[in-house]
Structure 1
Amino acid sequence: MPCLIARPAAAEDRAPDVPAEGYAYVELTPESDTGSALLADEIALAIAYNGLSQAVMMVSPNDLEDFVHGFSLGAGFIESIDDIYDIRLTPHGDAIAAEVQVSSRAFWALKEQRRQLAGNTGCGLCGVEALDQALPDLPVLPSAPLPPATHLAGLRERVNVAQEIARRSGAVHAALFVDGSGEIRLCREDIGRHNALDKLIGALKRQRLDVRDGFAVVTSRCSLELIHKAVRAGLSTLVSLSAPTALTVQWARRQNLNLIHLPHRNAPRVYSPAPKAV
């Protein structure tokens, strides 16, 4: 089936007050100087599985098939990207509808999850179900060696170079994959930090890359949801440019996920696995 992906409007399709080089602005200064700037694109994406509407979210309109694959896996809607048979992306003005065809097994599990949530509303248990969603049972990953310190050297600068959208407009997060040789293999960007990691996971799975032969990098705050997504994807190591939360470290240790924080001016800090007692 054809796949239609929305792209930024051509110059002739833009509104008259939006020049090709970006959006006009006036500086709030006595001189009232003017200029223009490129801004990050944002669209609403509605996802339906086998005709059943599941989610609507705001995303950057790039690498959407990667996002749908990664989101479906990271949210636990599918066990493998092979459960996805087809994706049709159809633009609707400032929105895109994603019609996803999944296996009967995945669709049954998705409907059962929705049925349990709906059946418990009003009985005092819906909060428990919500907690099960927020704090799910996850597999414990096999132990994996930490990446060499040389692969982390100058990583912040290399990440900045890889972020093409951020260099143009700013306002986006990035998730990247550094392979076993220390090279940045993939970079995915999005206005949402979760979305960026979903896109990266989707790209890794669709390209059948070995997710344990290297590590993922996120430029955003490292929250618990990112740990869930990394574990479900089978990543062995997650590197964050921002400090993790305490709960994030606890879960990373529990699930055997290597978790490293890369501060601006200090050496990389390994939070998981926990340091051995001296």
Structure 2
Amino acid sequence: MTTDAQKVFLNDPEHPLVHRKSALVINDNPATESFTLAEEVALSINYNGINHAVMLVTPNDIEDFILGFSLSNDIIQHSRQLYGITLDYNEDYINADVEIANQAFWNLKKNKRTLAGTSGCGLCGAQALEQVLPKLEPVRAVSLPEPGWFEGLRDLISRTQVLAQRSGAVHGAVYVDLMRNILACREDIGRHNAFDKLIGAITTKKLFQPEGIVVLTSRCSLELVQKAIRAKFSILVTLSAPTALSVKWASRHGVTLVHVPKRDAPRAYTPNR
């Protein structure tokens, strides 16, 4: 049931995640026009009554985001440790009360990491080097798909991103099988948030396939690779270039990292053998 507070965000049943705003077009004949913009809200996440993080997010698929965030940040080890999510929609923010298993909560308190800030925040608030460079179990390396799999991939992803088509300003995280069927797509203003939403959706809907491929529209940083490792993804494709450190970690942990440039051929960074 949609509450009155939720309707502040969902005020347009057909396009609940975008708003139209007027802006002055600066050219030889200045004029005011209306443009579509993506929504952005603050999300406060509390585990067992204690605040853990405040993130700026696109206000859709919030449950997927919280599950994915909890898994990819090693707060819970599996979805069974997340008992429930209660969302409270306010005018300027969403408050999420998350109930997790006592063992997971004890580990969270022991390894307290406070995140505060922005949708682009990856490692802000980390209190120890071990939190930035954790020990992770390698994934099972798999073979690359045929070269033809990558042909027209950018257009395929662009057609899949419904919110980006309306407003721009959002990143996409897409799960694709070897036949190029889109299994899931999640979008958010934050590249980390979009990936967490996708991880949550794959977990909730039991979509995981050993040879499934994740495609991210953003550049690839270290924490995105760490999320892929924790989620057991063997192939990670990005539409913008990876960093050297992300390639190093992907290679070390069995992940094949593929960069698909706009005009040049795909570049695959394969694991160390």
TM range (shorter): 0.7 to 0.9
Task: Look up the SS of the partner of 2:38 in the other structure.
Answer: coil
Please, which moves more after superposition, 239-248 or 28-37? 28-37
The residue aligned with 1:139 is: 137
Structure with higher Rg: it is: 1
Task: Look up the SS of the partner of 2:34 in the other structure.
Answer: strand
**Which of 218, 222, 225 pairs up with 1:224?**
222
Summarize the alignment of residues 50-199 of structure 1 with structure 2, pairs less than 5 Å apart: 50-114=48-112, 129-199=127-197
TM-score (norm 2): 0.88
- CA shift at 1:6, angstroms? 3.9
Q: Does the aligned pair in 1 maintain the 2:191–2:218 contact within 8 Å? A: yes
- CA shift at 1:113, angstroms? 1.1
CA distance in 2, matches of 1:55, 1:249: 28
The residue aligned with 2:116 is: none
Q: Does the aligned pair in 1 maintain the 2:183–2:207 contact within 8 Å? A: no
CA distance in 2, matches of 1:187, 1:108: 33
- CA shift at 1:211, angstroms? 3.9
- CA shift at 1:263, angstroms? 1.2
- Could you say what the CA RMSD is over the residues aligned between the two structures, in angstroms? 2.2
- CA shift at 1:267, angstroms? 1.7
Task: Look up the SS of the partner of 2:137 in the other structure.
Answer: coil
Percent identity (aligned) = 46
CA distance in 2, matches of 1:107, 1:96: 22
**Which of 20, 37, 40 pairs up with 2:38?**
40
CA distance in 2, matches of 1:128, 1:34: 44
Q: Does the aligned pair in 1 maintain the 2:19–2:39 contact within 8 Å? A: no
For structure 2, the residue ranges without an aligned partner over 5 or more in a row are: 13-17, 114-124
Q: Does the aligned pair in 2 maintain the 1:211–1:234 contact within 8 Å? A: no
Q: Does the aligned pair in 2 maintain the 1:46–1:55 contact within 8 Å? A: yes
For structure 1, the residue ranges without an aligned partner over 5 or more in a row are: 12-19, 116-126
CA distance in 2, matches of 1:21, 1:56: 23
Question: After superposition, what is the alpha-carbon deviation per residue over 1:222-253, rounded to whole angstroms, capped at 9, x for unaligned?
Answer: 00010010000111110011111111110001
Question: After superposition, what is the alpha-carbon deviation per residue over 1:181-234, rounded to whole angstroms, capped at 9, x for unaligned?
Answer: 221211110000000000000000111112423100000010001001000011
The residue aligned with 1:123 is: none
CA distance in 1, matches of 2:60, 2:127: 33
Task: Look up the SS of the partner of 1:174 in the other structure.
Answer: strand
- CA shift at 1:111, angstroms? 1.2
Equivalent pairs, count:
255
Task: Look up the SS of the partner of 2:128 in the other structure.
Answer: helix
CA distance in 2, matches of 1:128, 1:9: 34
Stretches of 4+ aligned residues off by more than 3 angstroms: 2-9
Question: After superposition, what is the alpha-carbon deviation per residue over 1:92-145, rounded to whole angstroms, capped at 9, x for unaligned?
Answer: 211001111111111111111129xxxxxxxxxxx9952111111111112212
